[in-house]
Chains A and B, each alone.
Chain A
Amino acid sequence: MRVLKNIASQLHSFVLWLLLSAIFWGWIFSRATDTTFDKKLMVFCDVPHIEDTALAIALEEELPEGIRMIQVHPFSYVMFDTVSIEHADILIVPASDAGEIGARLLPLEGEGGAPVYDPVTGQGALLGYITYTDEPYYLYLGASSAHLEDGAAAQVARRMLAM
């Protein structure tokens, strides 16, 4: 009883510590799971739902040479980190949004994006990781990607299309 009374009298300290702990270790782990742009590949997906961690783990099974990690983010992540999307290596966007950010997109091969999802047939790539809406989706390389010349972005993009 005495212990409970003591805890109740300092409840604000316990709650504050929990918050500080979550913020601090969240920050530390976000730093620990990050590296410089030249050593990572960033995939941004403008989709309603994505199993980002599971997809990143699957892609990391075959890392291109010189790449230490692959990060997969939904577009909503841009709210927290606008710098990252400017250096995006691979983007998956719906046809309706491709025009808006066209300047940031490069085709994987030839003209236009590589088809990722066809709403008519319901067929596409990455269906185990991504929930698409009822419109076509395309995959592009990022125009400012640090991995255009070394071919790492294209290599991972082709694997994604085959998944």
Chain B
Amino acid sequence: MPGNIIELYSPEELARLERRVKRHRTALSVLAAAALAVCIALAAHVTTASAPKLELAAIAVSTLAGWVCIYDGIFIVGAGKKELRHAEMLRTEPRVRVEGRAAVTGERFTIRKSVGVRRVAIATEGGIEQALVQENHARLLEDPRVIAVYTAHSYVAAVEVGA
């Protein structure tokens, strides 16, 4: 009797991810525009007396806003977009059911221009089969009730949990 199948890349999950990327992108645009507006206002009100302080303030505002944009742009928006691409690719691939006890092995590594992953060893009746699982889904495989995984393009795309 088949168990419950948990989709790692369900439409709901993709929609949530898409919303998150969009939200952060909007926030970054607002932050960048606000920082620019503040700096322009500072430059517009400069006098000989206030110039050193206002210049320092403008540099501080643009630097801090830029650092937040760089961090968020690379590690949240950029990473989210990579995750979305990865998910889209897996959703269209044919799946293979591999029955057995799955265990995450080894350290995290990053597929070039894609997501962070970890290796998975699945102990089947015929021996050990290898797969990859996206880093932030690895914890799901620690559940002892997992009886099978569904792989697409060697990535774990869903897990089957027994009763």
Contacts and interface: CB of A to CB of B under 8 A. Distances in A.
Interface in A1-59: 6-7, 10, 13-14, 17-18, 21-22, 24-26, 28-29, 32-33, 53, 56-57
A7 B71 contact: yes
B92 interface: no
Secondary structure class of chain A's binding surface, majority of residues: helix
Interface size class of B (residues with CB under 8 A): 20 to 34
Chain B: interface secondary structure? helix
A73 to B, nearest CB: 12
Contacts, number: 58
Interface string B42-61: 01101011011011001100
A118 interface: no
A29 B55 contact: yes
19 contacts: A6-B75, A7-B71, A13-B70, A13-B74, A14-B67, A17-B66, A18-B63, A21-B59, A24-B62, A25-B43, A25-B58, A26-B55, A28-B43, A28-B58, A29-B43, A32-B44, A33-B51, A57-B48, A60-B48
Given A13-B74, A17-B70, A25-B55, 6 more contacts: A22-B59, A22-B63, A25-B62, A29-B54, A32-B46, A33-B48
